Amino acid sequence: MRKIQFIETDGRRDYAIVPIEIFERMAEISENMDDMALYDAAKAVDDGTRIPSEVVNAELAGAHPIKAWRKYRNLTVQALADKAGISKPFLSQIEGRKRTGTIAVLSAIAKSLDVPVDLVTE
């Protein structure tokens, strides 16, 4: 390893001149530390919710979030309607964007799909 040079003012070290190999290693370590800090910050606010690509792709293609999640969970309209305690036609109208559900209805659907309510609303 090469020698590190110091620049002093009044007997106090103000600057260090380091070989490029040391500088590059320190820069890499610093970048890794930044990445670790970002990861730790993201992990601290992670609520555990994950949205599968199948659901995202269906929504991007225009599907209502409820329909995207229903299909992902392999549920028929009738099965989800029964689980949520609503009628099949009402669920079809919500999925078809002809009607909107109340917060109580959307909460029941979300619970039946095992997702947070904000993932089934538009």
Identify the CATH number of the domain defined by range 53-119. 1.10.260.40
Q: According to the model, what pLDDT value does residue 9 have?
A: 94
Q: According to the model, what pLDDT value does residue 49 have?
A: 86
Distance CA 19, CA 34 (A): 23
From start to end of 1-122, where are the E strands? 5-9, 12-17
Can you read off the two tokens belonging to residue 82? 């029964």
pTM of the model: 0.67
Q: What are the extents of the domains in the chain?
A: 5-44, 53-119
Strands 12-17 and 5-9: antiparallel
Q: According to the model, what pLDDT value does residue 85 have?
A: 98
Q: According to the model, what pLDDT value does residue 1 have?
A: 56
Tally of helices (H runs) and strands (E runs) in the chain: 6, 2
Compute mean pLDDT per 10 residues along the chain, 122 residues long, and list them: 85 92 91 92 90 97 98 98 98 97 97 97 92
